[in-house]
A = this chain, B = another copy of it.
Amino acid sequence: MVELFNGLKSYGSFELLKKIEGKKPFFICTIATTSTANIPYITGAGATPELMEYTPAGDVELIIHGELRCCDIPPQTIVDGASAPTPAMITKAALELTDVPFLIVDAGSRIKPDVPCITASNKPIHGKDIRTGEAVENPEKIFNDSKIIGRELSKSNDYLVIGESIPAGTTTALGVLTALGYDANFKVSGSMPENPHNLKKDVVMEGLANAGILDGIGNIGKIDPFKAVAAVGDPMIPAVAGMVFGSTVPVILAGGTQMASVCSFIKAIDPNFDFSRICLGTTSFVANDSTSDLFNIVSQIGDIDVHVVNPNFEESSNGGLKNYLKGFVKEGVGAGGAMLMALLLGYSIEDIREKVEEICE
């Protein structure tokens, strides 16, 4: 582990970061929804279960307009009366600080945000409950369309930073990781202090059974990756992977265990994929989380650098942000990667935290 900047810990090499330091990024937030998130107690996204589905749309509306249009109550996580703001606030802070260009990719969300979006297929389709074993319609099409997006946006930028917003995305991540042969049970992250691992595992197992895919642990490389996503994944995974394959420049996958799942999908598509041209950028809240194990998952997949940004919210006067330290939210909307990008562009972790506080007010 090395420290390139104050507030950043890098696991693996920071060769790629050295290459893109000070260079011009393009930020993409990929949104999607899955009915898996309607399973009670599975996700902490949304102020209420009814508002959960509005989280991705609300997140990007906050980033772009600084106000909500699809609903009235901002995305947040509430547990036992305490709440923490959506990580979109962190991403918005990094984008405003750096003036990095960005666009939203809609990989398939039920609630359409009131912002311009790139559609990752001509009719982006909301993901189904993975318990059906039929979670994503035509992931290959989402993948191929997203390759075009990655290709075009990489032509005039030095690197891409790709985040996501999809409630219950860690459960679908577990689904894909498991289907592809990885042991990720009790290892994926979650947006609540108590991570409902048994529920996530049961949901995934039911989906795998209904899809006719047995628990694939140890069967790495044996299941078609598109079948895995079609069965127990979500629309975000093939969209982000497609952009990675389409991109001709380095990519920071802005997220934790969900982006690890994207890496497992990438490796299943191309076992010789060169992971030195991409990396994970996430938050210390994911990296230090005792209820999950990002590093274990990543190490099963390959030699993938993980860069961890700590915005030192303990020093914040904002109670909602301090709740991140108690296990609320942890990551999302590309927050970790967005902060990493800001560090690479010369902003200090204090600049970033202050901007987040300003935006939260």
Contacts and interface: CB of A to CB of B under 8 A. Distances in A.
**Which of A101, A116, A152 has the most CB atoms of chain B within a 10 A radius of its CB?**
A116
Interface string A77-120: 00000000000000000000001111100000000111111111
Interface string A150-191: 001101110000000000000000000000000000000000
Given A26-B156, A148-B64, A156-B26, A112 B101 contact: no
A120 B116 contact: yes
Contacts of A99: 155
A317 interface: no
B118 A112 contact: no
A191 B102 CA distance: 37
A54 B149 CA distance: 23
Contacts of A322: none
B116 A118 contact: yes
B101 A153 contact: yes
A155 B101 CA distance: 6
A310 to B, nearest CB: 28
Interface residues of A, number: 29
Interface string A46-78: 000000000000000000100000000000000
Contacts of A117: 118-119, 122
Contact of A116 (B24, B102, B114, B148): B148
Given A152-B102, A155-B100, A155-B101, A122 B118 contact: no
The 3 closest A-B pairs by CB, nearest first: A101-B155, A101-B152, A112-B122
B115 A123 contact: no
A119 B116 contact: yes
A116 B149 contact: yes
A145 interface: yes
B122 A113 contact: yes
A119 to B, nearest CB: 6
A120 B148 CA distance: 19
Nearest to A146: B116
B148 A115 contact: yes
Given A24-B156, A64-B148, A118 B101 contact: no
Contacts of A115: 122, 145, 148
A30 B121 CA distance: 17
